[in-house]
A and B are shown apart, each in its own frame.
Chain A
């Protein structure tokens, strides 16, 4: 599975992931406290500058944000109808700036670094006995491993439907897909326990 991490080496890639996530959180709060159009426009400019310097080709960089920018555009239209124009502009700039900063952190932080941070975040929960931090990595690995298999299975079910001349309906394809997939759970769990991956 491809990732949204851009595998190049810029100064932004070298900042510690924890610092980046912390700064993003602080920025998120600050952006919601600012009401000045000029300051927010500056934030958008800085966000865009950083985002387009992450090593992504400009076209690809824009393509990644297209769906989210589209939803912001819809909200802006809504805002322009119901709110004073100043409020609509502030809201739009704020959201665009936040999206750009968030996308920059995603592009410059590797999956492994993110996983380390999530495991560190989960450590206090582990001490409370709520979960095992190592399980998160295991679960992520399982998903990445099984998505292609599920897609193959879906294709097989579709072909079986077509061969029998049955119309492909979501209700009749999903039930066998779910049953076939979840039936493997016992075997996979047995294999995980046999290897002692989740030691108690």
Chain B
């Protein structure tokens, strides 16, 4: 890993931490304020690609493990790994990796803006919703003794918000791609 890649991942980890400190920002269409940290996970994949994006999220995981309150609401420490929603947190790294992997394959520099946006949206939904929820719901079912199907339906309440985040991730991913492309330079 080059020093530049390491720095890019660390800076993105810092952005994810900062997103947890910002007051919730209302997302365009929906008036519901949404904590932006899980959006940061999608963005890590969309902006940096699979490997660097996953490493950025892993750095956040390390920060949480060593007892820094870097998650939204000042959460942190090892107790994060013990709660019923730990699966979502553990799934973050995989979500960023899959989002990045799909972004690298679906989005090309020569495509039109709309095609890029759609590619980023699909990558964000599969990585940041499908993969992430597989981890989150699986853990919830296992640890909290809730039937898998019921855990699944209980979690569906959060899907509309996460789909809105995928839209934002696609828009921001496209804007970053136009302004400062990092995704095509694979390492």
Contacts and interface: CB of A to CB of B under 8 A. Distances in A.
Interface of A: 1-5, 24, 28, 64-65, 67-68, 71-72, 74-75, 78-79, 82-83, 87-88, 90-91, 95, 98-103, 105-107, 109, 111, 114-115, 118, 131-132, 135-136, 138-140, 142-144, 146-147, 150-151, 154, 168-171, 173-179, 181-186, 188-189, 192-193, 198
Q: Which of B18, B65, B150: most chain A CB closer than 10 A?
A: B18
B176 A79 contact: no
A151 B14 CA distance: 10
A68 B14 CA distance: 23
25 contacts: A1-B68, A3-B69, A4-B76, A71-B85, A82-B146, A88-B145, A91-B145, A101-B82, A102-B79, A103-B77, A106-B79, A111-B67, A135-B1, A139-B62, A143-B10, A150-B15, A151-B21, A168-B25, A175-B176, A176-B179, A181-B14, A182-B182, A184-B11, A185-B4, A189-B6
Nearest to A91: B145
Nearest to B40: A174
Contacts of A132: 1
Given A78-B146, A98-B82, A102-B79, A178 B15 contact: yes
Chain A contact residues, majority secondary structure: helix
10 A-B pairs with least C-beta separation: A106-B77, A175-B175, A114-B66, A142-B10, A102-B78, A98-B82, A189-B4, A102-B79, A146-B14, A189-B3
Contacts of A142: 7, 10-11, 14
B43 A178 contact: yes
B136 to A, nearest CB: 12
Nearest to B77: A106
A177 B69 CA distance: 22
Contact of A2 (B11, B69, B85, B150): B69
Contacts, number: 201
Interface string B61-92: 01101111110011111111111110000000
B180 A182 contact: yes
B160 interface: no
A173 B146 CA distance: 39
A178 B172 contact: yes
B17 to A, nearest CB: 5
Chain B contact residues, majority secondary structure: helix
B38 to A, nearest CB: 13
A146 B11 CA distance: 7
Contacts of B150: 78, 82
A148 B130 CA distance: 33
Q: How large is the interface on B (under 10, 10 to 19, 20 to 34, 35 or more residues)?
A: 35 or more
Given A78-B144, A189-B2, A177 B11 contact: no
